[in-house]
Chains A and B, each alone.
Chain A
Amino acid sequence: MTMQTTMNRIDARFEKLKASGRTGLIPFVTAGDPAPEHAVALMHALVEAGADLIELGVPFSDPMADGPVIQHASERAIAKGVGLAEVLGWVAEFRRRDADTPVVLMGYLNPIEIHGYARFAQEAVAAGVDGVLLVDCPLEESAVLQPLRADGLRQILLAAPTTAAARLAALCEAAEGFLYYVSFAGITGAGLLSTDEIAARVSEIRARAKAPVAVGFGVRDAQSAKAIAGFADAVVIGSALVERLDGAASEAEVVARAQAFLQPVRAALDAR
């Protein structure tokens, strides 16, 4: 079953960005953090502050590839009862006011495995999800995701500095939606970027990949985002934003913090 009658929102958004010569801005937030009751308001605030696509983290108890900031955000959300059903509900609610901004669910395989792949695919498409980025599901294990792709969801693949040449070629060939380049070998939220190295690698990947290339892991602020913007189709910014949102008590505060964080990044990308 597919409820989509138009082009996938991710593809549409990247075409629009390309046409206008802008660099995409992709904020990541952990769904339900800092507060489940403000999850949808937060998504709208991100869009108002200039987000081109939203990565919504599905909390998982064992986030092996995440640093302490996103680990703790996941723990907080799980403690408040956030699961796949809640996340899909928020996307559906978000869609009532926003029909265009693509939403990618980011997380780990087990919640979807347990939910059932076919059931998840139907519910996610119905809610208005556009793609999934499953950190622990590399290309070689992707056969299980066939029901998702059959229903029109994009599988966002990752490439890393350690990715060998032959694998990189396969990833570039299989890329859809966008290819997420992990800018350094590590977990989310750590480390500093060596911009020249990333620039060289990303340029090479962009020339070959069948989808736009977004760069993430270690982008913390307007300055580091701007450094990446020169050679990437989009910039992903996660841990620093999640850290900023932690502890925001009211909806007004969640919205204000999100916008105060994201607007300078948007401005820096546009001022290039």
Chain B
Amino acid sequence: MTMTTTDDFHRWPDTHGRFGDYGGIYVAETLMAPLAELTEAYLRLREDPDFIAELDRDLKHYVGRPSPIYHAERLSKHVGGARILLKREDLNHTGAHKINNTVGQALVAKRMGKTRIIAETGAGQHGVASATVAARLGLECVVYMGAVDIERQKINVYRMKLLGAEVVPVTSGSKTLKDALNEAMRDWVTHVADTFYIIGTVAGPHPYPLMVRDFNAIVGREARAQMLEQYGRLPDVLTACVGGGSNAIGLFHAFLNDRDVRIVGAEAAGEGIASGHHAASLAAGRPGVLHGNRTYVLCDDNGQITETHSVSAGLDYPGVGPEHAFLKDAGRADYVGVTDDEALEAFHLLARTEGILAALESSHAVAQAIKLAREYPPDGIVLCNLSGRGDKDVHTIAAREGVQV
């Protein structure tokens, strides 16, 4: 679909959850009713001043918002191009942007009278954020996690258990995030009466891509206001990592109608897109149907979803949020691959120049910000979403580099 310069990107999705050709509701009949119930409840709550006020209070006093934008001066100087600014979502409670969404969905769950929370998780950040809000509201919490991811994210598994959640290993398929999502859907189908499914990214059937985007869009709203207040201008370019794409759409959304602001998403290119071992659904996939929505997917010619690879569990997903698919086709955002090695190099550089340990997911965005900074003059601004902190990845990095911790 071709967009004109006057199109309003904020009008999507339509009432059926479609972003142009993408999104929609591709689920089994059994889920149609609970999704309709959720859509009705959410569309009502998002206009409800009382709900909005409660959410704002939680974001301020529990999550610790607003998060700052930080000028990474030594990093910028080292790179030798434009100024790199970091939106510090890593400073949120639980250490990533994921809490913005789970706080919001938990309030929806509470107001819908649900007593049990389920969630899927890849890196474990969304699982921790879900377990956190469930503990706070006194709700039962079950987190589905691929057996492979459990192995590479042991710290987060233990954190979830400390928060009182049950972590269920998923051993079907590739034993990663996509299979965890399948299993959570199966749980939801079976327990729809009392259970609220907190999806962690902007994928899944409508209304999830809308709802998860809304709850993360605070990132871009804050950043846009902070830019104008602190720098008197908008950035030249935004970048964020894209797995399912929730932190990215969170940053991008407020800027979509600012046509002069360039938008670049960084997907996980793993060992390189040519190697076939990657998770770059937008850069290397094709339109298909997965997990309840039409979007770009990585699959073979038989339509079987292919196994993905990324050093970061949170980007290891063969689909992507439908709004990103829409923005790609509309030409409003570009999506490029960042390899494991590039992300690790950026991780170390940021640690040494700025004293910040970024999550491996976010390190992809930092690597892309470094590339972009080189394209702009010194007075240019690259705004990068530092979506999470790297404590959870310390063991993965040590193991990869042959260090015994």
- The interface of chain A, by Cβ under 8 A from chain B, is 59-65, 67-68, 71-72, 75, 78, 83-85, 108-115, 135-138, 140-141, 157-164, 167, 182, 185-187, 190-191
Residues of chain A with a CB closer than 8 A to B32's CB: 138, 160, 162-163, 167
Residues of chain A with a CB closer than 8 A to B26's CB: 109, 136-138, 141
Q: How far is the CA of A159 from the CA of B30 in the complex (A)?
A: 8
Q: With an 8 A cutoff between CB atoms, is B397 at the interface? A: no
Q: How far is the CA of A59 from the CA of B172 in the complex (A)?
A: 14
Q: With an 8 A cutoff between CB atoms, is B173 at the interface? A: yes
Are B301 and A62 in contact, CB atoms less than 8 angstroms apart?
no
Are A114 and B28 in contact, CB atoms less than 8 angstroms apart?
no
A-B pairs with lowest CB-CB distance, top 9: A111-B303, A83-B302, A114-B303, A162-B33, A158-B29, A65-B28, A61-B304, A186-B190, A110-B303
Are A163 and B33 in contact, CB atoms less than 8 angstroms apart?
yes
Q: Mark B165-180, 1 if CB is under 8 A from A, else 0.
A: 0000000110000110
Are B173 and A109 in contact, CB atoms less than 8 angstroms apart?
no
Give the contacting residue for A64; candidates B33, B185, B301; CB below 8 A.
B185
Q: Mark B265-301, 1 if CB is under 8 A from A, else 0.
A: 0000000000000000000001111111010010101
Can you identify 22 A-B contacts, CB atoms within 8 angstroms?
Answer: A61-B299, A62-B173, A63-B182, A64-B185, A64-B186, A65-B30, A67-B186, A71-B172, A71-B173, A83-B301, A83-B302, A83-B304, A110-B289, A113-B289, A138-B28, A140-B24, A157-B29, A158-B28, A159-B29, A186-B30, A186-B189, A187-B186
Are A160 and B30 in contact, CB atoms less than 8 angstroms apart?
yes
Give the contacting residue for A190; candidates B190, B286, B290, B299; CB below 8 A.
B190
Are B30 and A162 in contact, CB atoms less than 8 angstroms apart?
yes
Give the contacting residue for B34; candidates A67, A114, A162; CB below 8 A.
A162
Are A136 and B28 in contact, CB atoms less than 8 angstroms apart?
yes
Residues of chain A with a CB closer than 8 A to B29's CB: 138, 157-160, 162-163, 182
Residues of chain A with a CB closer than 8 A to B24's CB: 140-141
Q: How far is the CA of A225 from the CA of B178 in the complex (A)?
A: 34
Q: How far is the CA of A84 from the CA of B302 in the complex (A)?
A: 7
Q: With an 8 A cutoff between CB atoms, is B356 at the interface? A: no
Are A164 and B36 in contact, CB atoms less than 8 angstroms apart?
yes
Q: With an 8 A cutoff between CB atoms, is B227 at the interface? A: no
Residues of chain B with a CB closer than 8 A to A59's CB: 304
Nearest neighbor of A72 in chain B, beta-carbon distance: B172
Residues of chain A with a CB closer than 8 A to B303's CB: 60, 83-84, 110-115
- The interface of chain B, by Cβ under 8 A from chain A, is 16, 24-30, 32-34, 36, 172-173, 178-179, 182, 185-186, 189-190, 192, 286-292, 294, 297, 299, 301-305
Nearest neighbor of A83 in chain B, beta-carbon distance: B302
Residues of chain B with a CB closer than 8 A to A71's CB: 172-173
Q: How far is the CA of A166 from the CA of B186 in the complex (A)?
A: 25
Closest CB in chain A relative to B103 CB, distance in Å: 27
Closest CB in chain B relative to A54 CB, distance in Å: 21
**Given A64-B28, A167-B32: A110 in contact with B299 (beta carbons within 8 A):** yes
Residues of chain B with a CB closer than 8 A to A63's CB: 182
Nearest neighbor of B303 in chain A, beta-carbon distance: A111
Residues of chain A with a CB closer than 8 A to B179's CB: 62
The residue in B30, B189, B305 that gathers the most chain A C-beta atoms within 10 A of its C-beta is B30
**Given A136-B26, A141-B24: A114 in contact with B182 (beta carbons within 8 A):** no
Are A114 and B30 in contact, CB atoms less than 8 angstroms apart?
no
Nearest neighbor of A191 in chain B, beta-carbon distance: B190
Are B25 and A138 in contact, CB atoms less than 8 angstroms apart?
yes
Closest CB in chain B relative to A145 CB, distance in Å: 12
Nearest neighbor of B18 in chain A, beta-carbon distance: A141
Residues of chain A with a CB closer than 8 A to B186's CB: 64-65, 67, 187
Q: How far is the CA of A93 from the CA of B24 in the complex (A)?
A: 37
Q: How far is the CA of A98 from the CA of B81 in the complex (A)?
A: 72
Residues of chain A with a CB closer than 8 A to B16's CB: 140
Closest CB in chain A relative to B182 CB, distance in Å: 5
Closest CB in chain A relative to B204 CB, distance in Å: 10
Residues of chain B with a CB closer than 8 A to A64's CB: 27-28, 182, 185-186, 291-292
Q: How far is the CA of A113 from the CA of B292 in the complex (A)?
A: 14
Give the contacting residue for B299; candidates A68, A114, A141; CB below 8 A.
A114
Give the contacting residue for B291; candidates A62, A83, A140, A159; CB below 8 A.
A62
Q: How far is the CA of A68 from the CA of B25 in the complex (A)?
A: 24
Residues of chain B with a CB closer than 8 A to A136's CB: 26-28, 289, 292
Give the contacting residue for A162; candidates B185, B192, B286; CB below 8 A.
B192
Give the contacting residue for A185; candidates B172, B190, B287; CB below 8 A.
B190
Q: How far is the CA of A164 from the CA of B39 in the complex (A)?
A: 14
Residues of chain A with a CB closer than 8 A to B290's CB: 62, 110
Q: How far is the CA of A109 from the CA of B33 in the complex (A)?
A: 20
Q: How far is the CA of A109 from the CA of B29 in the complex (A)?
A: 14
Nearest neighbor of B302 in chain A, beta-carbon distance: A83
Residues of chain B with a CB closer than 8 A to A78's CB: 304
Q: How far is the CA of A103 from the CA of B302 in the complex (A)?
A: 20
Residues of chain A with a CB closer than 8 A to B292's CB: 64, 136
Give the contacting residue for B297; candidates A110, A162, A164, A191; CB below 8 A.
A110
**Given A62-B290, A114-B299: A182 in contact with B305 (beta carbons within 8 A):** no
Are B172 and A68 in contact, CB atoms less than 8 angstroms apart?
yes
Residues of chain B with a CB closer than 8 A to A158's CB: 28-29
Nearest neighbor of A166 in chain B, beta-carbon distance: B36
Are B288 and A113 in contact, CB atoms less than 8 angstroms apart?
yes
Nearest neighbor of A167 in chain B, beta-carbon distance: B32
Q: How far is the CA of A241 from the CA of B355 in the complex (A)?
A: 60
